[in-house]
Structure 1
Amino acid sequence: MQTVDQIIQPHWLIPVNTRQSVLLEHAVVIDQDEIIEYGPAAAINARYEANTSTVLDNHALIPGLVNAHTHTAMTLLRGFADDMPLMQWLSEHIWPTEAKWVDRAFVEAGANLACAEMIRGGTTCFNDMYFFPDVVARCAETAGMRACIGMIVLDFPTAWAQNADEYINQGLAMRDQVRHSPLITTAFAPHAPYTVSDEPLQRIATLSEELDCQVHTHVHETAQEIEESNARYGMRPIERLAQLGLLGPRLLAVHMTQLLPDEIDAVAECGVHVVHCPESNMKLASGFCPVSKLAAAGINVCIGTDGASSNNDLDLLGEMRMASLLAKGFSQDPAALNAYETLAAATINGAKALGLEHHIGSIEAGKKADLVAIDLSACATQPVYHPVSQIVYSASRDQVSDVWVAGRRVLENGVLTTLDAERICATANEWRDKIGGY
């Protein structure tokens, strides 16, 4: 018998493959950080001896969830400014508060809180955009999470940088610092077409091509954004990004609630990835991403939560449910974004958008062992006819029992193994007292 590090044997194994398989009484073999194979449990146990065996009689095992759009440190502003439209929320509340309070300590406290929340909810990889990205990278590594860290770019000064060139240069320095990390990748993260001018966007387009690096940006989020772009540039943001050389398979376009048919065609032709953030879009009344039309055009659609200050959580299971229900209601098609397609949007589609599909996003031999176990024995998910349907339409993040990232168990029986939740929450409350004036 071959000795390996781990064997995990769930009741249901959901690999997220093109056959939309749900496998009963199968087991996954892990050695070091990699999936060796999976197969019928009896055959696996006859061929392998594991240092650690985990039997999960009531659980579904899925690939780790990929949160394709976050602002992790903004967990510290959860509930700080609610119930208002995007530009009022940003200009009157978020940006002034960030200018006053954001520093390395703020970002560390917020990122730690975000990592704890995301691991507890089954997220193993996140795609972030915020200030002090080197701090976020360090927090992710400490938590044992996988992360794509955004090299944020803005035209205006913040505590992180004073101008667009400095943002880009500091981002590139951060990218160089993490280049050997097995858990951290990077992407250019110009905030939005309305906050970044042509010259830095052109430089980002060139660097993205030279470095084969993804570009992560908010785009076509609100009707006001479209109106202002037409007034300022004489064109809509998508057309402007195309002219600047950014429309292509490295672009992650976040929100995309304001799209014309020809823009959907252009996005499809160029291979752009769309990150759907349904709860944030609804909370800010930004509009509805036409997910069914995007999928019908062959566009890769993945799911993000956005920041906890506009959501107000980092619950990707909840986001999946909302994405599927909204797709059905918006398209008036009950078959739109079915349960398995929704699970794929939160796993392999997110991996594809980040250029990580050969490493994560599905349960396959040779991929990293990023896995999530969901206990379906709760009353809310009984009886189980179709486990994928239960995960998408019924399960809560409280039913996530165990999480592995690169074979490391970062959540065990509902308990974080890499982070001190009590200390993290205490620190968050200290920041609330400072920011809120308590």
Structure 2
Amino acid sequence: MNVYLVGGAVRDELLGIEVVEHDWVVVGATADVLRKRGYRQVGRDFPVFLHPETNEEYALARTERKVSPGHTGFAVDASPDVTLEQDLARRDLTINAMAKDQGGRIIDPWGGRRDIANRQLRSVSDAFREDPLRVLRTARFAARFNELGFAVAAETMRTMAEIVGAGELEALPPERVWQETHKALAASRPEVYFEVLRECGALERVFPEIENLFGVPQPKRWHPEIDSGVHTLMALGVSASLSDSTEVRFAVLMHDLGKATTPKAMLPSHHGHGERSVQLIRDLAARLRVPRKFQALAELVARHHGLVHRATELKPRTIVELLTQLDAFRQPDRFEKFLLACEADARGRAGLQTRPYPYADLLRLAQHAAREVGADDVRAAGLDGAELGDAIRIRRIDAVRQALRGAEAPARRES
């Protein structure tokens, strides 16, 4: 049998990017041959094996034939006579359809090196349109490699639009949509993922809550970019510069969903959009099976970000109530992610991306001061139960008042 390094490892090596995963394809062998050599089979839909020593994935070369709609509707042939070129032909993009043999020779039958040089994300063949998940994957690669100058080739974008128009995306399993989206949120330019999905018409099919934000106006005084959808993706881009946390980035993406449901008579104001956003987040999270920790942070940001933007106007009592609702004393790490998401919202506006955001530092100071109030100190006064809780709250309010005394106020609030 012949073994080749394939896919992302070859691509990243040619791009000068650190290779973190090695995937291999095996030509001229059977599942029985690999099992006899100690490989452990893990794939159910097609034969994928783990190497007995390295645990790296080895897949038998295969071809696929579309037999039903959706992402999994394929008949697979992994017989020993399937060639390397046939295996590479079924892959999504040319930059992912290269292989390297044991001697270090690059096998590139579909022009992957050419498209790396031209910074193009191009589909390999018409087989691309048979798997609707490739629409999301291509958008994800666009987000990942945007900083290197990559863009989706025009003909591939047209193919993606045709897949969307055929209704294929509706057959995607929710967990696969979330999986691709989560990977895209981890990219260096996560907003590009949603821009590409919107360009090919997929955003309204997969994330209608985000698509509905585009064209919804906001007060120009607070939002020079005006458009709610534009603001959301600008804020997402800022969040990527502030934090690697995909929880933070998801929360920023979700924070203004309620603006799409503002009554037209109220526009461009959006009073009460926070609570409307929370319900939309819950619906989206249930539909795509978003992990609970992502949903929880997103709901907190949607509900409270407007209050954070007015932190210097708040009384110490209100600040302590806010910190309590955020569970900031027991979950300080989540509180920090919350503040980063609020900062991304404030800076995700035309011409304001680099300005300071002192509101977060003010609340960090308040949280630190209030946290210093210990229950043991209050309990020593003989209090318990509700009285103990009231006493702790009063002492925290006083601690925050003392800590914030003399703090500089920002020149203006946010909206």
How does the TM-score come out when normalised to structure 1?
Answer: 0.27
Per chain length, whose mean CA-contact separation is higher, i.e. which structure has more relative contact order (CA < 8 Å, sep 6+)? 1
Please, what TM-score do these two structures have when normalized by structure 2? 0.28
Q: Between Structure 1 and Structure 2, whose CA radius of gyration is higher?
A: 2
| Larger helix percent | 2
